[in-house]
Structure 1
């Protein structure tokens, strides 16, 4: 009988160790999807430059199995999570050469749902010397970063009777206060906190179903909270106790998905989804105990699963869906929700901001360098870097851009050396 599933793996919170045994001159770690602060901003990277017409140089590539979990980078290691036959595999590769440093396999139980790809969806996370991966059947594993040796495992989907959802587990982990926070989406328990050293349950909260959005950190009045978008709600809670700070409806019943990570900017929270859910900007008051909707709408920046970049009072991201039409790249004003400019037929894309430019990798395998200019769309460079679909979170570390593609039950991880 297929084991129940749940949702969690993928990214981390706001603390991560600095680069150890690292010989690079520029850059820093990329220890979770969307980077160190889970906002797509690479603060330690050198300014981005245009590449030759032939595109960035390929440093190396590595064959993978199925799945949509993006790569992460810590020190001199790239960590990648994928499925080979009946195993979910975690690999550590040398960041400069792609050589395998260690490899660990776990039994894969997910049988596939709406999407025939049965591999893991959630990007790994690293906290200190620990690697966390969450499989498509809601099995959570903790490994030693140096050796790949397993430290503990939890069958959370089975423990909490979490349903499969449309695509298996796909939300991200959040590590805060020595806890791993998980939107498990069980029958009676929605969010759980586990001790990072033992895997034991610390607290349980809400009865919310799981989404495909990954949680992030919300800082209010000097206090950090965990901010989740679940299946039907946006929720902030205390990471130590699980006590609820606030909750507000966000989502729709039916064949819909919440996939983008919420964006926390000072005392504001930006929520976005497609499927006629739309975008919503919240203004938090009284230390987050109350809030009001500053603006909302479905023709502003409705993202199917890509998280927009915050920069100088604006958001840059894709508006639209991968499966209906072609998404547009937009810049919007955060204060008013006004669309500043639009680049049509851009395609759904994950983006990484460095200083005043950002890299956007769309699903058609095009890597585009764009100025983060709120006045007009300014394209600096473009290159076709993959013939196969590129849907996973990319990573940027020490001048190397890492991405994986998917074609059937196989894929490839590629490292590009940026100029």
Structure 2
């Protein structure tokens, strides 16, 4: 196309008459100048589509002006020019380019123009978090209302079933082991009347009860922006949104609050999420690009439940585990790289999807996935999906929400609506597992805030809102206290973080001898809805999601 025709077709005539008169003069100039001008005009008329970016990987080479990094997931080498203004942190401390070297793990942050603004690096000698300390008091608490017998095995202490996530991060729902235990150390032992220092506040998450997961210095959550369901990535150190990706639109409203309920899982540079209407998505953690997606309710002929799908998927090895509760699969295992079916388990009985999330249990050499369906707690063999066992004593007919807990060949599960909790003892032989009920207690009617076990004692909120500590092996009550009311719990560095659904957050010593509160505060900018998103402690911070707002508090000593 002649250059004159190109320019004219790119400009709206009715608005650009002065511009055209100038072009007539320019066309009389030398061809060399005209060609250069055409290139400039074309650039102005066809804007570039550049967005801020994040790239994580291993340093291959570095100089004062340029760094080459091999991507974690793509294994592609990228080279970046380093401006003098670039900010560098090494092992969480302010540093400079001179201290970067080959072999270090880095995350590169770029502006919308492609300029490197910040580098976060981890040295080879970065410290490994140590396990949380254990408490040892052995009180003589009052007996609860229990039935059946007590196990002869020793008290469970910690869950050794790993799910592939880094122990220093919080890359899935309920933490590294899906047991509500953070590995953070050196945290505050008490709070002032105003609570810990608020580090930053982020907005732009939309509506929803999804909490956050953290990996490689990034936070991931889900929300509803207008009619769009989205996944959001946030920089953990300052709260800036790195990317927002829509995965569904116009799905309709859910009962009791709009927006997704599930929490993302981050594994091997990929983010796995499950929307409130059954949309399962795998995204690139760096860019937010969708790698594959499907609707598990449609594919496995399930139906949505009253308050929307709330399960947070489990990623174990090459499998994504979820529970569509359909006629073509109660629980299914999908290939994490493609979404293709590995196996589907059809558990006998009317097991629809529920609001709980699966965990891993290893019993006598039999690895299994344990979850709470609409009608019972079930165990499914991990290798092929074969149903192994089920128990309905802790299930109610309305909503089973809290995920089960596995400790030393026992499973504890509980629900609200007047039901309570049950401890099961598991025994395996010949690749099969049997479950025997140890006791049922009315003193742990845990609705949806979850529970945690520390040194053989279980802590959780008992409806209608009494913080309760019981000895797990026997069911005996150690203590009860109304605290800040009904809420969600997480353990970190010797303390229980209890977030009330009404807003206040309490710090409670994880000690079965007595209830000892070490501080409480109320978050600012509260939405007015129930604060159901679970608290997360990772990277020295306490993260609290309340619909569109995400707050980060410094809890390091």
TM-score (normalised: structure 2): 0.67
Structure 2 partner of 1:7: none
- Among 484, 488, 508, the alignment partner of 1:370 is 508
Query: Which residue is equivalent to 1:260?
Result: 402
Of 409, 412, 437, the match for 1:293: 437
Deviation of the 1:153 alpha carbon: 0.5
Matched, 1:126 2:263: no
Determine if contact 1:69/1:392 at 8 Å carries over to the other structure.
yes
Deviation, structure 1 residue 109? 4.2
Structure 2 equivalent of residue 153 of structure 1: 293
Q: What residue number does 2:370 align with?
A: 227
* Alignment counterpart, residue 344 of structure 1, candidates 475, 482, 488: 482
**SS of residue in 2 equivalent to 1:83:** strand
> How far did residue 339 of structure 1 move?
1.1
1:402 matches 2:543: yes
Q: For each residue in 1:231-282, what CA deviation from the matched residue of structure 2 results, as whole angstroms up to 9, or x when unmatched?
A: 112111122311122222245564x110001000011100100123221001
Q: Work out which structure has the larger RCO, using CA pairs closer than 8 Å and 6 or more positions apart in sequence.
A: 1
State the partner residue of 1:90. 231
Classify the secondary structure of the residue corresponding to 1:286: strand
Cα contact 2:393–2:440 (8 A) shared by 1:
no
Q: In the TM superposition, what is the alpha-carbon distance from 1:413 to its structure 2 partner? A: 0.9
Aligned partners of 1:163 and 1:57: how far apart in 2? 44
Establish whether residue 281 from structure 1 lines up as the match of residue 418 from structure 2: no
Is the 8 Å Cα contact of residues 232 and 250 (structure 1) preserved in structure 2?
Answer: no
Show the counterpart of 2:497. 359
Q: 203, 208, 211: which is aligned to 2:354?
A: 211
2:317 is matched with: 177
Is the Cα–Cα contact under 8 Å of residues 179 and 194 in structure 1 kept in the other structure?
A: yes
**2: CA distance between counterparts of 1:80 and 1:239?**
27
Q: Against the structure 1 CA distance between its residues 223 and 355, is the aligned structure 2 distance closer, same or farther, given a 3 Å change threshold? A: farther
Query: In structure 2, how many angstroms separate the alpha carbons of the residues matched to 1:46 and 1:128?
Result: 28
User: 2:428 and 2:180 mapped to 1: Cα distance?
Assistant: 28
Q: Which residue of structure 2 aligns with residue 8 of structure 1?
A: none
Contact 2:469 2:477 (C-alpha < 8 Å) held by counterparts:
yes
Instruction: Give me the whole-angstrom Cα distance separating, in 2, the residues matched to 1:164 and 1:80.
Output: 21
SS, match of residue 289 in structure 1: strand
Q: Counterpart of 2:182?
A: 42
- For 2:216, the equivalent position in structure 1 comes to 75
Q: Is structure 2 residue 458 aligned with structure 1 residue 315?
A: yes
**Is the aligned partner of 1:195 residue 2:332?**
no
Structure 1 Cα separation of the partners of residues 437 and 553 of structure 2? 41
- Which residue does the alignment assign to 2:36? none
- What runs of 5+ residues in structure 1 fail to find an aligned partner? 1-16, 321-325
What secondary structure sits across from 1:52 in the alignment? coil
* Aligned partner of residue 78 in structure 1, secondary structure: strand
Listed one character per residue, the Cα deviations across residues 149-196 of structure 1 (whole Å, up to 9, x for unaligned) are 110001222222321211111112111231101111113421111100
- 1:100 matched to which residue of 2? 241
Query: In 1, Cα distance between the equivalents of 2:395 and 2:195?
Result: 41
* Two-structure CA RMSD over aligned residues (Å): 2.1
* 2:307 paired with 1:167: yes
State the TM-score, normalized to the length of structure 1: 0.88
Deviation at 1:144, TM superposition (A): 0.8
Q: Secondary structure at the match of 2:182?
A: coil
- Partners in 2 of 1:23 and 1:395 — Cα distance? 23
For residues 100-143 of structure 1, the C-alpha deviation after alignment (integer angstroms, 9 at most, x for no partner) is 2222112234322432x221111111112110111111011100
Q: Equivalents in 1 of 2:206, 2:279: separation in Å?
A: 18
Alignment of 1:233-252 (within 5 A): 233-250=376-393
**What CA deviation, in whole Å up to 9, does each residue of 1:203-227 have, x standing for no partner?**
1112521110111111212443111
8 A contact 2:461–2:467 mirrored in 1: yes
- Cα distance in 2 between the residues matched to 1:106 and 1:263: 31
**Cα distance in 2 between the residues matched to 1:126 and 1:362:** 27
Range that drifts further, 338-347 or 282-291: 282-291
Spell out the pairing of 1:384-403 with structure 2 (5 A cutoff): 384-386=522-524, 387-388=526-527, 389-403=530-544
Aligned residues of 1:110 and 1:118 also touching (Cα < 8 A): no
User: Which structure: greater helix fraction?
Assistant: 2
Is the contact between residue 26 and residue 45 of structure 1 (CA under 8 Å) also seen in structure 2? no
